[in-house]
C-alpha cells in the first residue's frame, strides 16, 4: 500500500495543523453549556500538504468523464464545460438565500423564467416547473398531474398506467408510488411498442401511457403518432420520459409527437456532472391545458417583474424551495453558450458517433438489433464464443485501458447485453481508440483468453466479488485492514 492510500484518519498526528486562521477581533461570546459538546470532535489533524495529497489521491481512485471515455449506455455521460460550473458558482448565485424577497433576486428569477421557456421551445411543450430534483421525481409529478386532471373532470375510474416492458425501471415504480395499477404491454424485439398488444390494453380505465423515445435500446419509436392517437382516443394522456432527449435535440420534439407531459433529465442532456448520486434535476413540462397543475412555485413575469407563484390547481410542492438551483444555472449557461444552431447538432452527432462504433465493431460483436440506432445501441457479447468470454470479462478488460465500461446486462432482453452510448462530445480519435481497444479485446478473447478472464490487471483493486461488495460493503474506518 502506498503511504498516501491511507485514510485521512490514519495520516492524522495529534496537534498537526493545516490551517492558519486570522486572530479573532470579535468579542468573545460565551455559549450556554448545553449548546457545547462534552468532548472535542474527533477530527483528523494533518498539514495542508497531507490534506492536498489525500484528496488528490482519493480523486485518482475514481473514474469520471474527465478521466477517460465513459460510454455508459442510458446515462449520457457527456462532458460538462467548466464555464457552467464557474458561472453557477458566482457569489451572487451561490450565496443567495431562498427566503430573501423576490424583489432582490430578480436576476435569479429571470434565469428560472427564461430556462423554462428554452426547455419549452426545445421540447415543444408550453410550460415547465423546475421544482423536481430528479428524473424519477419528474415522473412522479407527471403522474400526479395525470391523476388530478382526470379527477377534476370527475373521471375516477382511470386507475391504469400503461408501460411497455422495455421501459426504464423508474417508470412502473413512479406509477405505483402515484397510486396507479401498471399494465405492461409487450415490446417488439427492438424495444418499440407492439401496437396490437397496446390496442388490447386500451379501455376507459386507462389514465395514460409512459414512453421514452428513442426507447431504452436506442431505437426510434416510429409508430409514435399512431400510439399517440390511440391513447388520446381512449381518453388517456401521453407521458414522455425525456431521459433520452439527447438523441432528438435539434431534430424532433416530443410535443410535436403528441406527448402531453414530459420530464427532462437536465443532468444527462443539459450537462451537469452526475453519477454516484450527484445532483440531478427533472423539470416537468406540460401542454397548455395542464399548466395550472404544475408543481410549484413557478416563476411568472408581470410586466418587467419576476415572481415565484404557485400554479392555481397545483399538485403541490415537490421540493422544499425551488428545486436544484445549481443544476438550472448550469443548464441555462449550457443552452446559452451553445445557442440554437449548435444545440441542433447534438442529436445528429450523438447518433453518428453511436452508429460509427456499431458499424465498426459488428463483425466482432453480436448485433441483435440491426436497424439504424439513435444515440446508443446494444451488442450481445462476442460473436466467437469458443473461449466462453462473457460481457463481464470484456467490461473488466476495458478498465485496464482507461476506458469506463459500457452498461452491461441491461437491457434484459439479451443475455450478454453491452450497451454503448458515446455521446456527441467525443472526437473521432477517441472513438477510434475505443474501437481499436474493443478489437484487441475481441482478439485476445480468442487467442489469449486468460488475460481477459482475469482482468482488470492495472486497477487499484482487481476483480471484486460483486455480490459481496454490494451486500456486505466495508465502509467503516475500523474495517480498513480487511480491504488491503
Ligand atoms: C436515467 C433515467 C431515468 C431516471 O432518471 P433519474 O434522474 O436517475 O431519476 C428514467 N428513465 C430513463 C429512460 C433513464 O435513462
pLDDT beyond 80 at 123? yes
Instruction: Name the band, by pLDDT with cuts 50, 70 and 90, for residue 216.
Output: confident
Whose C-alpha lies nearest to ligand 1, atom 7? 135
- pLDDT in the model for residue 477: 66
Q: What percent of the chain has pLDDT over 90?
A: 81
* pLDDT tier, 481 (very low <50, low <70, confident <90, very high otherwise): low
Distance of CA 74 from the midpoint of ligand 1 (Å) = 8
With cell 424519477, the residue in question is: 136
| pTM of the model as a whole | 0.90
- Asked if 374 and 247 touch (Cβ cutoff 8 Å), the reply is yes
Q: What is the DSSP string of 14-52?
A: TT-----PPP--SPP-PPPGGGS-SS--------HHHHH
**Average of per-residue pLDDT across 176-200:** 94
Assess whether the C-beta atom of 280 lies below 6 angstroms from ligand 1.
yes
Which residues lie below 8 Å from residue 51, measured CB to CB, with a gap of 6+?
8, 18
Q: What is the mean pLDDT of residues 19-37?
A: 89
Q: How far apart are CA 6 and CA 35, in angstroms?
A: 34
DSSP conformation class of 328: H
For 337-379, how does the pLDDT look when each residue is reduced to its tens digit (9 = 90+)? 999 999 999 999 999 999 999 999 999 999 999 989 999 999 9
Cβ(187) to ligand 1 under 6 A?
A: no
pLDDT at 484: 40
Pick the atom of ligand 1 nearest to 212's CA.
Answer: 13
**Whether the Cβ atoms of residue 234 and residue 206 lie closer than 8 Å to each other:** yes
Percent of the chain with pLDDT strictly greater than 70: 98
212 lines ligand 1 (CB under 6 A): yes
Measure 213 CA to ligand 1 centroid, in angstroms. Answer: 13
Atom of ligand 1 nearest to the CA of 241: 11
Which of these ranges, 3-17, 162-176, 348-362, has the smallest mean pLDDT? 3-17
Spacing, Cα 265 to ligand 1 middle (Å): 7
- Enclosing H/E stretch for 119: helix 106-123
What's residue 60's pLDDT? 85
Mutation choice for ligand 1 from 143, 241, 263, 279, CB with most ligand atoms inside 8 A: 241
What is the position in ligand 1's atom list of the atom closest to the CA of 167?
A: 13
CB-based contact 93:108 (threshold 8 Å): yes
* 293 has pLDDT over 60: yes
> Quick check: CB of 191 below 6 Å from ligand 1?
no
Q: Contact 293/314 with Cβ under 8 angstroms?
A: yes
- Does the Cβ of 73 fall within 6 Å of ligand 1? no
How much is the pLDDT for 483?
Answer: 43
Out of 168, 187, 273, 277, mutate this one to test ligand 1's pocket (max ligand atoms within 8 Å of CB): namely 168
Q: What is the pLDDT of residue 252?
A: 96
Query: How many Å lie between the centroid of ligand 1 and the Cα of residue 207?
Result: 21
Ranking 16-30, 231-245, 304-318 by mean pLDDT, the lowest is 16-30
- Three cell numbers at 24? 479573532
Say yes or no to pLDDT of 36 above 90: yes
Q: Is 243 in the pocket of ligand 1 (CB under 6 A)?
A: yes
Mean pLDDT of 272-297: 91
Structural domains in the chain, CATH included, are 3-56 (no CATH), 96-342 (3.40.640.10), 346-459 (3.90.1150.10)
Nearest atom, ligand 1, residue 76 CA = 15
**Cα-to-centroid distance, 135 and ligand 1 (Å):** 5
Mean pLDDT in residue range 194-204? 97
CA of residue 212 to ligand 1 center, whole Å: 10
| pLDDT exceeds 90 at position 166 | no
Question: Residue 6: its pLDDT value, please?
Answer: 86
* CA 198/CA 175 separation, integer angstroms: 18
- Residue nearest atom 4 of ligand 1, based on CA coordinates: 135
User: Ligand 1 in contact with 168 (CB < 6 A)?
Assistant: yes
| Cα gap 239→264, rounded to integer Å | 11
Q: Is the CB of 135 under 6 A from ligand 1?
A: yes
Give yes or no for residue 472 having a pLDDT over 80.
yes
Ligand 1 lined by 216 (C-beta under 6 Å): yes
- Cβ(72) – ligand 1 distance below 6 Å: no
CA 433 to ligand 1 centroid distance, Å: 29
Q: How far apart are CA 330 and CA 236, in angstroms?
A: 35
Ligand 1: centre distance to CA 243 (Å): 6
Of the candidates 173, 167, 178, which has an alpha carbon nearest to the alpha carbon of residue 212?
A: 167
> pLDDT confidence of 473, banded at 50, 70, 90?
confident
- Average of pLDDT values for 405-433? 96
At residue 180 the predicted structure's pLDDT band, cuts being 50, 70 and 90, is very high
Q: Is the model more confident about 405 or about 479?
A: 405
* 98, pLDDT greater than 60: yes
Using the atom order of ligand 1, give the atom closest to the CA of residue 265.
Answer: 7
466 pLDDT above the threshold of 90? no
pLDDT score of 257? 97
**58 vs 334, higher pLDDT:** 334
Are 248 and 292 in contact by the 8 Å Cβ rule? The answer is no
The pLDDT of residue 43 is 87
Average pLDDT estimate for 197-224: 95
- Please say if the pLDDT value at position 14 is more than 60: yes
pLDDT of residue 397: 98
- DSSP label at residue 420: E
Average pLDDT, the chain: 93
Residue to substitute in 167, 170, 214 for testing ligand 1 pocket (most ligand atoms within 8 angstroms of CB): 170
Q: How far does the centroid of ligand 1 lie from the alpha carbon of residue 134, in Å?
A: 8
| Sign (positive or negative) of CA dihedral 115, 117, 121, 124 | positive
pLDDT exceeds cutoff 80 at 272: yes
Amino acid at each position: 500500500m502506498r503511504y498516501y492510500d491511507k485514510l485521512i484518519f490514519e495520516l492524522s498526528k495529534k496537534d498537526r495543523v493545516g490551517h492558519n486562521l486570522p486572530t479573532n477581533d470579535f468579542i468573545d461570546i460565551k455559549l450556554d453549556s448545553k449548546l457545547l459538546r462534552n468532548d472535542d470532535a474527533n477530527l483528523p489533524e494533518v498539514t495542508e500538504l497531507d490534506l492536498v495529497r489525500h484528496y488528490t489521491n482519493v480523486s485518482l481512485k475514481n473514474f469520471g468523464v474527465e478521466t477517460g471515455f465513459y460510454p455508459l449506455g442510458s446515462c449520457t455521460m457527456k462532458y460538462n464545460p467548466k464555464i457552467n460550473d464557474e458561472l453557477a458558482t458566482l457569489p451572487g448565485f451561490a450565496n443567495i438565500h431562498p427566503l430573501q424577497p423576490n424583489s432582490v433576486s430578480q436576476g435569479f428569477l429571470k434565469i428560472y423564467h427564461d430556462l423554462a421557456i428554452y426547455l419549452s421551445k426545445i421540447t415543444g411543450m408550453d410550460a415547465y416547473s423546475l421544482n423536481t430534483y430528479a428524473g424519477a421525481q419528474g415522473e412522479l409529478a407527471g403522474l400526479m398531474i395525470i391523476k388530478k386532471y382526470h379527477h377534476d373532470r370527475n373521471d375516477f375510474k382511470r386507475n391504469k398506467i400503461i408501460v411497455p416492458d422495455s421501459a426504464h425501471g423508474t417508470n412502473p415504480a413512479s406509477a405505483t408510488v402515484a397510486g396507479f395499477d401498471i399494465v405492461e404491454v409487450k415490446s417488439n424485439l427492438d424495444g418499440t411498442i407492439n401496437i396490437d398488444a397496446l390496442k388490447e390494453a386500451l379501455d376507459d380505465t386507462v389514465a395514460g401511457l409512459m414512453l421514452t423515445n428513442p426507447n431504452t435500446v436506442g431505437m426510434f419509436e416510429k409508430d409514435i403518432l399512431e400510439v399517440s392517437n390511440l391513447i388520446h382516443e381512449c381518453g388517456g394522456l401521453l407521458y414522455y420520459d425525456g431521459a433520452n432527449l439527447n438523441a432528438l435535440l435539434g431534430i424532433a420534439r416530443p410535443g410535436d409527437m403528441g406527448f402531453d407531459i414530459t420530464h427532462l433529465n437536465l443532468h444527462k442532456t443539459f450537462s451537469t456532472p452526475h453519477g454516484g448520486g450527484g445532483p440531478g434535476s427533472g423539470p416537468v413540462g406540460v401542454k397548455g391545458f395542464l399548466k395550472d397543475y404544475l408543481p410549484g412555485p413557478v416563476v411568472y413575469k408581470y410586466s418587467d417583474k419576476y415572481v415565484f407563484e404557485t400554479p392555481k390547481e397545483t399538485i403541490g410542492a415537490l421540493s422544499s424551495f425551488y428545486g436544484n438551483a445549481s443544476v438550472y444555472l448550469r443548464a441555462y449557461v449550457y443552452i446559452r453558450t451553445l445557442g440554437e444552431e449548435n444545440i441542433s447538432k447534438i442529436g445528429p452527432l450523438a447518433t453518428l458517433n453511436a452508429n460509427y462504433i456499431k458499424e465498426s465493431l459488428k463483425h466482432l460483436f453480436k448485433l441483435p438489433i440491426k436497424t439504424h440506432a439513435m444515440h446508443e445501441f446494444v451488442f450481445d457479447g462476442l460473436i466467437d464464443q469458443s473461449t466462453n468470454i462473457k460481457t463481464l470479462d470484456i467490461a473488466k478488460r476495458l478498465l485496464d485501458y482507461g476506458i469506463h465500461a459500457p452498461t452491461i446486462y441491461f437491457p434484459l432482453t439479451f443475455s450478454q447485453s453491452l450497451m454503448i452510448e458515446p455521446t456527441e462530445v467525443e472526437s473521432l480519435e477517441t472513438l477510434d481508440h475505443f474501437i481499436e481497444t474493443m478489437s484487441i479485446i475481441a482478439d485476445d478473447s480468442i487467442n489469449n483468453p486468460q488475460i481477459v478472464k482475469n482482468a482488470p490487471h492495472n486497477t487499484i483493486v482487481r476483480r471484486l466479488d460483486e455480490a459481496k461488495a454490494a451486500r456486505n460493503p466495508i465502509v467503516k474506518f475500523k474495517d480498513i485492514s480487511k480491504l488491503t
